[in-house]
Structures are given as structure tokens and as C-alpha cells.
């Protein structure tokens, strides 16, 4: 049986749990990280020397890095669907997974920790506002894609939507100024219809 370690309020854990939910996979979940601790034990470090969440264990195989876990699960359990069989087609999903990790996560972390985790007196609003502007610009890129396709890699949901969909929830629910992006709003509405998304991603931010 699959085993997952992580805390459910981590966006990186949410990607993995949503993937598992979409695929209907049996699993065991152990809560570690953040206030729960557990990342400094020899057993956990042996699985992930970075001491971060999530970790997926499948038999003797331990995988860290959330997008790597999503790719593994989709390749193993959803070939021809979430995992496109054709490499060229699959690259369309891959690029959006990397876009989420490379182009948005640092600024989203600045915004999230600044507005949700820190007390108001400790917030660096200049940094938060600058990060918000950059994220909003990136969301404009997603808007352009979703104006021509229902999902990020075409007309069917793929693994590319799992990291991006988790991002869209946070961006949509954070107390920030957002531009009017109708295609992103429609995408969020479609995501919200999926039971596994509601269960594993649409978790209160505070």
C-alpha cells in the first residue's frame, strides 16, 4: 500500500493527496512537518535527506519532491489519461508543472507566509505587494492558455493541472488584489466540481 508523509495544509502535500484522490488509490497518510515535527528522525531523513514534505513510499521505493511524486503516480496508474503516452503531448503538461514550481512558488510563499502565517505587525508589505504583482503577471500567462484550452495541456485534464490547480486555489483565496481573469475563474469553478480537489486542496488557509 502507498504511504504518504506530510501535513495536509502544505500545498506540496495537497498536490500529492489530490492525485491519489483522483486515481482512487489506497494509501496510508502520516502527518509530519511544521508544528507536527517528525522530519528530523533518522527514519525520515533516510527517506528524504532534505527533511521536507511530502514523501511517498511505494514498497521499497521512497520518492521526494511533490511534482516528481505526481509524475510517478500518474505514469504508474494513469497512462493514457493524466499521463499522456506520447512524449510530445506529455511535454505540454510537464511545462506547466515546471512553471508552477519555477515561476510562481517563491512569490506565492512570500505572500502566503506574510499574510497567513505572520502577525500583521511582522509583515513586510513591500515584499508582499511586489510578490503579488509578479504572481498576478504569471497568472495572466495562465489566463492566455486557458482562453484556448479547457485544461492547461488541452481539452482533457492531465497531470499538469494538479500543481497548477493547487496554485489556483491559493491565489483565488488569499486576501490580495487580483486582476479579473475570467478563464482562470472558470477553470477554478471546474476544479471545484471535483470531489478530490474539494477534499484535499480546498482546505482553509488559516
67 and 147 in a single domain? The answer is no
The predicted model scores a pTM of 0.96
Residues of the chain with pLDDT under 70: none
Q: How far apart are the C-alpha atoms of 205 and 197, rounded to whole Å?
A: 15
Q: How many residues does the chain have?
A: 206
Phi-psi region of 110 (alpha: psi -120 to 50; beta: other; left: phi over 0): alpha
Task: Please give the grid coordinates belonging to residue 117.
Answer: 502565517
CATH number where 37 lies: 3.40.30.10
Number of domains forming the structure of the chain: 2
State which residues form the domain around 132: 87-198
* Domain-terminating residue out of 77, 95, 110: 77
12 and 110 in a single domain? The answer is no
Task: Please give the grid coordinates belonging to residue 105.
Answer: 512558488
91 lies in some domain: yes
Backbone angles phi, psi at 5, to 5 degrees: -115, 135
133 and 192 in a single domain? The answer is yes
* Domain-terminating residue out of 77, 107, 122: 77
pLDDT at position 206 is: 76
pLDDT at position 148 is: 98
What are the beta bridge partners of residue 49?
none
Q: How far apart are the C-alpha atoms of 28 and 89, rounded to whole Å?
A: 32
* Domain-terminating residue out of 77, 99, 119: 77
22 and 120 in a single domain? The answer is no
30 and 63 in a single domain? The answer is yes
CATH number where 98 lies: 1.20.1050.10
Q: How far apart are the C-alpha atoms of 177 and 185, rounded to whole Å?
A: 14
Burial of 29 (0-12, 13-18, 19+ CB in 10 A): middle
Per-residue pLDDT of 123-156, as tens digits, reads: 999 999 999 999 999 999 999 999 999 999 999 9
Amino acid at each position: 500500500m502507498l504511504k504518504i508523509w506530510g501535513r495536509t495544509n502544505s500545498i506540496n502535500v495537497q498536490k500529492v493527496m489530490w492525485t491519489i484522490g483522483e486515481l482512487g488509490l489506497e494509501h496510508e497518510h502520516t502527518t509530519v512537518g511544521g508544528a507536527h515535527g517528525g522530519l528530523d528522525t533518522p527514519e525520515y531523513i533516510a527517506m528524504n535527506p532534505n527533511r521536507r514534505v511530502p514523501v511517498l513510499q511505494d514498497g521499497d521505493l521512497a520518492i521526494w519532491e511533490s511534482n516528481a511524486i505526481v509524475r510517478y503516480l500518474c505514469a504508474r496508474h494513469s497512462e493514457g489519461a493524466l499521463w499522456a503516452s506520447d512524449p510530445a503531448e506529455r511535454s505540454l503538461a510537464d511545462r506547466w508543472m515546471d512553471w508552477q514550481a519555477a515561476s510562481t512558488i517563491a512569490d506565492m510563499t512570500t505572500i502566503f507566509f506574510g499574510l497567513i502565517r505572520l502577525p500583521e505587525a511582522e509583515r513586510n508589505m513591500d515584499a508582499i505587494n511586489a510578490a503579488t504583482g509578479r504572481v498576478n503577471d504569471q497568472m495572466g500567462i495562465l489566463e492566455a492558455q486557458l482562453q484556448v484550452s479547457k485544461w492547461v495541456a488541452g481539452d482533457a485534464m492531465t497531470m499538469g493541472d494538479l500543481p497548477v490547480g493547487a496554485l489556483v486555489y491559493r491565489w483565488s483565496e488569499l486576501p490580495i488584489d487580483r486582476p479579473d481573469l475570467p478563464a482562470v475563474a472558470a477553470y477554478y469553478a471546474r476544479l471545484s466540481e471535483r470531489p478530490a480537489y474539494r477534499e484535499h486542496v480546498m482546505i482553509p488557509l488559516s
